[in-house]
Amino acid sequence: MSPLATFDVVGKRVFLRCDLNVPIKDGIIKDDGRIKASLPTIQLLQSKGASLIIAAHLGRPQGLPSPELSLAPVAKRLGELLGQEIIFTGDLTGDAVTAVARSLKAGQILLLENIRFSPAETSKDEIERAVFAAQLAQLADAYVGDGFGAVHRKHASVFDLPALLPHCAGLLVAGEVEVLKKLTENPARPYGVVLGGAKLSDKLGVIENLLEKVDLLAIGGGMVFTFFAAQGKEIGTSLVESDMIDSVKALIATAQEKGVRLVLPTDIVVAPTLSADAQPTLVSADAIPADQMGLDIGPLSAAAFAAQIQECATVFWNGPMGVFEFAHFAAGTKVVAAALTKVVGISVVGGGDSAAAVRALGFADSQFGYISTGGGASLEYLEGKELPGLLALGL
């Protein structure tokens, strides 16, 4: 039974930290998966007679309010999904918020504005965070942590605030941990991890740690070009993190030492620019033109990745294989997603963009073993790191 089932919230105001960090373009939510994933906890708390003050972040506003990262569209969508009005004042702290929070009736929901509009939320300064957390604690009688996508962050609303109130893990966080445990505690082998996405620097530490645990590591997406650069290949104008090249060289050597199969693409779809109407060309990974950028793995690579994935008994995938947002560069991601649906064993997709990608490409959530709402959080869990937001909840 989930710990939330017996957590006493009757007639209480609950501060609920959710992960509502959904992709939004021009005010339109591209994938509401994380909002939907938050509903069970919200509804359970409501059914127990709690009122809710929900906090969440959107993107990385660097501690400054920015209109394009407002949670207003999320408030609207959440209201539609729940069939009730969500009170959204556009504030995060202040007298108005306090007054509304105090006046909430059972079942009512106040959604705070993007919690990262306050620099204190993400501050490295413990005291600055503590002061902010104390301010947030004033709003509620209890805390429920359900923002799995942020549990790897030592942030005020994730780490400091739960210490100040009676606290409990939400259903989503508890469920995520249950699945990821299966991947870390004695996974069925072969165990493969497929990584892609844009930023290598976000994931390099994860890759280093995973080399200790996995049998297969397949790499695509924008991060692969730093691998190619480390191998001395021409990468044209592809995404590259030059300061990571030495680390990648070391990583390739470690993979070899440990007998981890490191699978890199052999063909690449390139284009002159990153745009929807850019003319795609298929080239060998050894022949990327100097004036073009790699935007997807090619069909040979996708087929090779798929074959390797299907041989695994446990697979974790994070990060699209290409710029799936544009149809010309979505094929690699689609083939890899399809391979994951055929895994006999456990297949887990993690990451905001990855989850959005599989849905946008027409797959149903039910085709995968599990779609994790966390990218960085799931990866750090798999690494075996202690996650501040889970520690704070006693998990």
- Residue 377 φ/ψ region, left for φ over 0, alpha for ψ in the -120 to 50 degree band, beta for the rest: alpha
Q: Helix H segments across the chain?
A: 33-47, 72-82, 95-103, 126-137, 171-184, 200-210, 224-230, 245-258, 299-310, 331-341, 352-360, 376-383, 388-391
How far is CA 292 from its chain centroid?
29
- Helices (H) then strands (E): counts for the chain: 13, 16
Amino acid letter, 365: D
Peptide bond into 23 cis (omega under 30): no
Closest distance between ligand ADP and the C-beta of residue 355, in Å? 7
Cβ(4)–Cβ(150) under 8 Å?
no
Please, which of residues 314-353 interact with ligand ADP by CB under 6 A? 318-320, 322-323, 325, 351-353
Q: Please report whether residue 380 would count as binding ligand ADP according to CB under 6 A.
A: no
Q: Please report whether residue 236 would count as binding ligand ADP according to CB under 6 A.
A: no
Q: Which does 294 bind (CB under 5 to 8 A by kind): ligand ADP, Mg ion, none?
A: ligand ADP
Closest distance between ligand ADP and the C-beta of residue 31, in Å? 11
Q: Which does 236 bind (CB under 5 to 8 A by kind): ligand ADP, Mg ion, none?
A: none
Please, which of residues 187-216 interact with ligand ADP by CB under 6 A? 196-199
Backbone φ and ψ of 137, nearest 5°: -60, -30
Peptide bond into 40 cis (omega under 30): no
Distance CA 188, CA 258 (A): 18
Cβ(176)–Cβ(148) under 8 Å?
yes
Site size for ligand ADP, by CB under 6 A?
20
Distance CA 336, CA 319 (A): 11
Please, which of residues 264-303 interact with ligand ADP by CB under 6 A? 294-295
Residue in the block written with tokens 């592809």? 238
Interface residue with ligand ADP, options 222, 236, 369, 388 (CB under 6 A): 222
**Residue (of 263, 351, 260) closest to 305 by Cα position:** 263
Closest distance between Mg ion and the C-beta of residue 75, in Å? 22
Q: Which does 265 bind (CB under 5 to 8 A by kind): ligand ADP, Mg ion, none?
A: none
Backbone φ and ψ of 218, nearest 5°: -110, 135
Q: Which does 318 bind (CB under 5 to 8 A by kind): Mg ion, ligand ADP, none?
A: ligand ADP
Helix/strand/coil for 375: coil
The residues carrying an active-site annotation are 34, 199, 352, 376
Task: Count Cα neighbours of 31 within 13 Å in the Cβ-side half-sphere.
Answer: 23
Q: Which does 323 bind (CB under 5 to 8 A by kind): Mg ion, ligand ADP, none?
A: ligand ADP
| Closest residue to Mg ion using C-beta atoms | 353
Give Cβ neighbours of residue 175 (< 8 Å, ≥ 6 apart). Answer: none
The residues facing 14 across adjacent strands are: 52, 142
The residues facing 263 across adjacent strands are: 218
Q: Please report whether residue 375 would count as binding ligand ADP according to CB under 6 A.
A: yes
Q: Please report whether residue 175 would count as binding ligand ADP according to CB under 6 A.
A: no
Closest distance between ligand ADP and the C-beta of residue 316, in Å? 12
What does the per-residue mask of binding to ligand ADP show for 108-147, with x meaning CB under 6 A? Answer: ----------------------------------------
Interface residue with ligand ADP, options 114, 237, 347, 354 (CB under 6 A): 354
Closest distance between ligand ADP and the C-beta of residue 351, in Å? 2
Closest distance between ligand ADP and the C-beta of residue 361, in Å? 13
Q: Please report whether residue 61 would count as binding ligand ADP according to CB under 6 A.
A: no
Find the part of the chain contacting Mg ion (CB under 5 A) among 105-113, 171-179, 330-338, 344-352: 344-352
Q: Please report whether residue 353 would count as binding Mg ion according to CB under 5 A.
A: yes
Closest distance between ligand ADP and the C-beta of residue 274, in Å? 7
Q: Which residues bind Mg ion (CB under 5 A)?
A: 352-353
Contacting residues toward ligand ADP, per CB under 6 A: 196-199, 221-222, 239, 294-295, 318-320, 322-323, 325, 351-354, 375
